[in-house]
Structure 1
């Protein structure tokens, strides 16, 4: 991998005090973030959330998903307990924002998220997690308490030799706009909801 890194900067947030570091994959031109508590390096097995970018949810507050709620839950929890949030910037399971909006339009016609991606010519999930391994190595992470419902993230973390000492569920309240989405994640993608 050909990676460029930023310096570490302070990031005061409404959730608490963090530090932030950016990583740019020069091959894909994608930029990712490590959001770290000040005591991160002193924790033997820190809490970690690998959060997949969702502009519509994280920033615009879309009710079609649970992304913003999961991110806020992780920020609040990790600010208190100590750890790391990796903001994995591969929008729409790495199909990009334009295609994600096209997938939304197909979902408006009754497709689930998987069917929409497939109809647009993509796999159900196009994400590449290799930058996560790079970030873990850069931050000297060996074992973690992983905050996730996604079995693919669990498998990936284990496959790169990181010990998961605990899996912490990231459960948020469903609403009438995201029930179908959450059911698809559970029944078709094996999410631990």
Structure 2
């Protein structure tokens, strides 16, 4: 039988860990940004330990927010800016913004420093070259002596808590994002599908995410 004092201690440790994580970011800038999707309030949060600056776009009132539509989007200059078909990042970003605009309420966290699953732009392009030789996205990173995924989502959880978000409907296919939010006491009450058509150029990329990272995949509806 589990000791009651052990359970109490575990709960206290979990609460303390969440509170400590809440202090890992600080709000450093704020302004309104009009976009083709509508008007967003932008917040820039800096991660104290690394200096990384994450951009948060908020539409509508999310304070004391339950079931807030939310996307944690990893920075991807090739997909988000140039529309690369090697990944589905740009299309996911566009669809997430459209969903938020349709509800007139939601949050997009644009997580900088996540380029190439956290290995940086130059290394991502090096990994692309290896993929052209037959490596998948995971093995290409490992061949370069880099982690298969170096991203963290603890700072994203701290930002959501700073915005007083209580629970989210998460637009994601990545189980790690769900696990991290739950760890920091932000329940995910629904997974909202971002159904992007698979292309010949990114089919292996998407299937690798499914097989090697356990990602979900939503067929285009």
TM class, shorter-chain normalised? Answer: over 0.9
Alpha-carbon RMSD: 1.4
Partner of 2:186: 162
Please say if 1:7 is aligned against 2:29: yes
TM-score for both structures, normalised by structure 1: 0.94
**Are the counterparts in 2 of residues 5 and 24 from structure 1 also a CA contact under 8 Å?**
yes
Q: In the alignment, which residue of structure 2 is the partner of 1:118?
A: 142
Shift of 1:38: 2.6
1:71 is matched with which residue? 93
TM-score by length of 2: 0.83
Structure 1 residue 4: deviation in Å?
A: 4.0
Cα deviation for residue 42 of structure 1 reads 6.8
Residue aligning to 1:101:
125
Q: Deviations over 1:75-112 (max 9, x none)?
A: 01011211101111121111111111111111111111
Poorly superposed stretches of 4+, deviation over 3 Å:
1-4
> Which protein has the larger Cα radius of gyration, Structure 1 or Structure 2?
2
- CA shift, 1:138, in A, is 0.9
Match of 2:49 in 1: 27
Deviation at 1:165, TM superposition (A): 1.0
Q: CA deviation at 1:43?
A: 4.5
Q: Report the equivalent of 1:148.
A: 172
Deviation of 1:3 after TM superposition, in Å, equals 3.6
- Which consecutive unaligned segments of at least 5 residues does structure 2 have? 1-22
Where structure 1 has 5 or more consecutive residues not aligned to the other structure, the ranges are: none
Mean CA deviation greater in 44-53 or 20-29: 20-29
CA contact (8 A) 1:18 1:79 kept: no
Q: CA deviation at 1:8?
A: 2.3
- Conserved 8 A contact 1:169-1:192: no
User: Matches of 1:184 and 1:54 in 2, distance apart?
Assistant: 18
1:87 paired to 2:110 = yes
CA contact (8 A) 1:9 1:19 kept: yes
Counterpart contact for 1:93–1:127, Cα < 8 Å: yes
